[in-house]
């Protein structure tokens, strides 16, 4: 694999560039018989698409998904699924001034070094537009996990800049998340976040923050003991998302301030099963799920392309002052929420199917 595929039992391969003809995904290993419609996949993509509010990129893309194989009469067939969304609102001329420029903190330099060529139109393959393919695949994974296992994915914006909500993730619902354009379930904090993003946008700047991901009703026993630990795969999935710079699970980095007597999760027997009385481990012990809710945090950096003068170099190593133009998000977090949901679902379905295959082999 050349870094464009993800998963083992449920594997996706994405393709396409920001200003190419289309962005697409092939899913291999999807179980047959999952009831799924184009409208359900589209609903997930509509949460990610640009132009959905004044605090996101103004690019006008409907991200209409086309299902070309693997789904028949409203159900998956078990054969490879191919889905495409054709790019519509392409303005490659907006990026002509970036053709020979290395944007600070952007992938321009590293793509040029690795391949000797780069698609400067909206960042090409390095663009977050690629993530629509993941969200389309994730919608199918989420449907399978919901109807077969009752597993639920709830991600939301926890922090923008220094503004943070302390809402208990256990009470958060999808309606609360979708109640505002920043996708923070705490209305008062959401208003402060929106005001901050508006200010940053007016200054031609960008800002980062944190998305909190929650996975509910997960069975115990998912994950492998050493290199394919469940939380390690979740970390890899999240760190593969554009602009992500950090990941922690459970108490995470706050664990360093605790003693073992504080951090340890005591076991109890409740409702006919073994549970923990609290969950600082974040639902994973030894790389394997405990059956408690998994919760984690994903840190996003500010978008690197901003509308302010910046010192940088050309490809010929000449110093210049760059004043970038184009259509960019001042804060990626509102649109990244469904991406976090999708990547979490892709990890969980892959581990569930791998676990199922191993069980069948043992029984045989």
Per residue of the chain (364 residues), give pLDDT as tens.
578 999 999 999 999 988 888 999 999 999 999 999 999 999 999 999 888 899 988 877 788 999 999 999 999 999 999 999 998 866 666 677 778 888 888 888 898 889 998 888 777 788 889 999 999 999 999 999 999 999 999 999 999 999 999 999 999 999 999 999 999 999 999 999 999 999 999 999 999 999 999 999 999 999 998 999 999 999 999 999 999 999 999 999 999 999 999 999 999 999 899 999 999 999 999 999 999 999 999 999 999 888 899 999 988 899 999 887 767 889 999 999 999 999 999 999 999 999 865 555 444 4
Distance CA 7, CA 144 (A): 16
pLDDT of residue 151: 98
pLDDT of residue 362: 45
pLDDT of residue 2: 75
Distance CA 232, CA 341 (A): 16
The distance of Cα 302 from the centroid of its chain, to the nearest Å, equals 16
Phi first, then psi: what are they for 7, rounded to 5°? 100, 165
- pTM assigned to the model: 0.94
Distance CA 180, CA 193 (A): 11
Three-state SS for the chain is CCCCEECCCCEEEEEECCCCCEEEEEEECCCCCCECCHHHHHHHHHHHCCCCCCCCCCCCCCCCEEEEECEECCEECCCCEEEEEECCCCCHHHHHHHCCEECCCCCHHHHHHHHCCCCCHHHHHHCHHHHHHHHHHHHHHHHHHHHHHCCEEEEEEEEECCEECCCCHHHCCHHHHCCCCCCCCCHHHHHHHHHHHHHHHHCCCCCCEEEEEEEECCCCCCCCCCCCCHHHHHHHHHHCCCCEEEEEECCHHHHHHCCHHHHCCCEEEECCEEEECCCCCCCEECCEECCCCEEEEEEECCCCCCCCCEEEEECCCCEEEECCCCCCCCCCHHHHHHHHHHHHHHHHHHHHHHHHHHHHHHHC
Which CATH code is given to the segment(s) 5-363?
Answer: 3.60.150.10
Distance CA 27, CA 222 (A): 22
| Both tokens assigned to 275 | 């549970």
| Domain parsing of the chain, residue ranges | 5-363
| Both tokens assigned to 196 | 């901050």
pLDDT of residue 295: 98
Phi first, then psi: what are they for 257, rounded to 5°? -90, -5
pLDDT of residue 47: 96
With CA atoms as reference, report the closest residue to 188 among 199, 197, 180, 178.
Answer: 180
What's the CA dihedral at 168, 174, 177, 181 to 10 degrees? 180
Give the gyration radius of the chain's Cα atoms: 21
Distance CA 140, CA 43 (A): 12
* 15, 24 Cβ separation under 8 angstroms: yes
């Amino acid at each position: 694999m050349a870094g464009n595929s993800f998963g083992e039992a449920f594997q996706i391969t994405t393709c396409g560039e920001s200003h190419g003809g289309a962005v697409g995904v092939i899913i291999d290993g999807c179980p047959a018989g999952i009831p799924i419609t184009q409208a359900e996949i589209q609903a997930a993509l509509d949460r990610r698409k640009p132009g959905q509010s004044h605090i996101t990129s103004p690019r006008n893309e409907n991200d209409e998904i086309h299902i070309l194989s693997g789904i028949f009469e409203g159900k998956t067939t078990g054969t490879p699924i191919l889905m495409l969304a054709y790019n519509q609102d392409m303005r490659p001329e907006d990026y002509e001034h970036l053709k020979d420029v290395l944007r600070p903190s952007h992938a321009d330099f590293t793509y040029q070094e690795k391949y000797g060529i780069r698609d400067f139109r909206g960042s090409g393959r390095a663009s977050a537009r690629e993530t629509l393919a993941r969200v389309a695949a994730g919608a199918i994974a989420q449907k399978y996990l919901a109807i077969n296992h009752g597993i639920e994915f709830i991600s939301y914006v926890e922090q923008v800049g220094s503004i943070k909500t302390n809402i208990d993730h256990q009470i958060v619902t999808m309606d609360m998340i979708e109640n505002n354009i920043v996708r923070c379930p705490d209305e008062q904090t959401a208003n402060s976040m929106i005001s901050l993003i508006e200010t940053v946008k007016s200054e031609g700047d960008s800002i980062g923050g944190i998305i909190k991901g929650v996975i509910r009703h997960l069975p115990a026993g998912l994950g492998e003991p050493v290199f394919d630990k469940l939380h390690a795969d979740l970390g890899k999935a999240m760190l593969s998302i554009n602009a992500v710079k950090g990941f922690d699970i459970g108490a995470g980095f706050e664990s360093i301030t605790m003693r073992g007597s504080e951090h340890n999760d005591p076991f109890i027997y409740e409702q006919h099963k073994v549970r923990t009385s609290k969950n600082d481990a974040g639902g994973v012990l030894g790389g394997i799920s405990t059956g408690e809710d998994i919760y984690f945090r994903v840190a996003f950096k500010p978008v690197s392309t901003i509308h302010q003068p910046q010192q940088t170099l050309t490809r010929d190593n000449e110093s210049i002052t760059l004043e970038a133009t184009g259509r960019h998000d001042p804060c990626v977090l509102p649109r990244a929420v469904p991406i976090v949901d999708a990547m979490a679902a892709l990890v969980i379905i892959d581990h569930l199917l791998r676990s199922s295959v191993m069980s069948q082999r043992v029984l045989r």
